[in-house]
């Protein structure tokens, strides 16, 4: 399922507006800072062609070599924000990329001693992955939702090579908190050789972590008013709690997992502890009935 943007994007917090510029200023003098912009995930209300034209004029380099028509509007671009030693920090573009990132999962930032061309090529190689059964896949490491999960999933021997890109990789999580992944200094010759091989456990971990981003748009459609009433920085954690309940209750079908969230929005997160629900939830958790039968039993008594 595609990640569809949820209406009413979160308003940037004061902390978010301060932490990224402070991080940029704190980078070592021998590194440059780049914004890694995923054009495919840009907020739907932005004129993407105009944004692309602007960043290309500022020296952005394409990460993926894709010659298909209009591909440049749906691929990641690496935009230099500073020169070596911050002598040419582009503050307007830094502010703009920060605004984009806080409106949708479309921008991360990398601090590295590599040139834009070198870093773009090394990033391109890191988008190539092989799933179990030798299935090639585009690994969206530049997605701020994927990036921290990938960092947790890699084994040490994989990580030592994969993250050999520079100083740090910064991103905003779903709660608008700045996250940082420490990178390893890059050598003259890239120590990473693609594609990245992911085993079944790693693949399932990444798949499970992405479920929240599939469920949130469904909650926004099925219970629009209740879901959008939640503070934007709390929507993901709410959804994760609902999915945890679904796991505890052995609810596996995607539509029914969404329904757990809908029920929590409409009835309150503690609905399953109410007298009318508790005995039916117990049967659900034991695998004796499904969620539809649980709802029917709890609401028809």
Model confidence pLDDT, tens digit, residues 177-234: 899 999 999 999 999 998 999 999 999 889 888 888 889 989 999 999 999 899 887 8
Query: What pLDDT was estimated at residue 129?
Result: 96
Query: What pLDDT was estimated at residue 12?
Result: 52
- d(C-alpha 7, C-alpha 12), whole Å: 15
Q: Which one, of 206, 146, 152, lies nearest residue 171 by Cα?
A: 146
Please check the confidence at residue 240 and state whether its pLDDT lies above 60: yes
* Predicted confidence band of residue 27 (pLDDT cuts 50, 70, 90): confident
Please check the confidence at residue 145 and state whether its pLDDT lies above 70: yes
Q: Which one, of 33, 25, 21, lies nearest residue 84 by Cα?
A: 33
Average pLDDT over residues 155-159: 96
* Residue 169 · residue 181 · CB < 8 Å: yes
Token readout for 136 is 């090639």
> 107 - beta bridge partners?
37
Please check the confidence at residue 6 and state whether its pLDDT lies above 50: no
- d(C-alpha 105, C-alpha 126), whole Å: 19
Query: What pLDDT was estimated at residue 150?
Result: 96
Average pLDDT over residues 95-111: 93
Please check the confidence at residue 15 and state whether its pLDDT lies above 70: no
> 78 - beta bridge partners?
36, 61
> 79 - beta bridge partners?
35
SS3 of 106, please?
Answer: coil
Query: What pLDDT was estimated at residue 301?
Result: 61
Report the chain's mean pLDDT, rounded to a whole number. Answer: 89
Query: What pLDDT was estimated at residue 89?
Result: 83
């Amino acid at each position: 399922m595609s990640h569809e943007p949820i209406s009413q994007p979160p308003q940037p917090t004061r902390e978010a507006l301060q932490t990224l510029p402070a991080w940029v200023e704190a980078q070592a003098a021998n590194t440059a800072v780049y914004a890694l912009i995923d054009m495919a995930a840009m907020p739907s209300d932005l004129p993407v062609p105009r944004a692309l034209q602007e960043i290309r004029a500022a020296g952005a380099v394409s990460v993926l070599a894709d010659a298909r028509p209009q591909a440049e509007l749906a691929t990641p671009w690496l935009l230099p924000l500073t020169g070596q030693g911050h002598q040419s920090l582009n503050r307007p573009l830094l502010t703009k990329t920060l605004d984009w990132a806080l409106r949708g999962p479309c921008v991360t930032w990398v601090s590295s001693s590599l040139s834009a061309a070198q870093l773009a090529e090394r990033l391109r190689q890191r988008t190539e992955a092989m799933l179990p059964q030798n299935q090639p896949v585009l690994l969206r490491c530049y997605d701020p939702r994927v990036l921290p999960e990938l960092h947790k999933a890699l084994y040490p021997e994989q990580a030592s090579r994969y993250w050999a890109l520079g100083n740090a990789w910064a991103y905003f999580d779903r709660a608008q908190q700045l996250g940082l992944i420490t990178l390893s200094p890059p050598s003259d010759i890239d120590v990473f050789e693609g594609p990245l091989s992911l085993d079944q456990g790693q693949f399932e971990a990444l798949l499970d972590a992405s479920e929240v981003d599939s469920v949130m748009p469904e909650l926004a459609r099925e219970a629009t008013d209740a879901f959008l009433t939640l503070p934007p920085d709390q929507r993901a954690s709410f959804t994760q709690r609902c999915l945890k309940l679904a796991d505890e209750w052995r609810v596996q079908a995607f539509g029914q997992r969404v329904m757990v969230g809908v029920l929590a929005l409409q009835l309150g997160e503690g609905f399953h502890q109410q007298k009318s629900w508790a005995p039916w939830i117990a049967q659900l958790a034991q695998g004796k009935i499904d969620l539809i039968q649980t709802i029917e039993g709890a609401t028809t008594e």
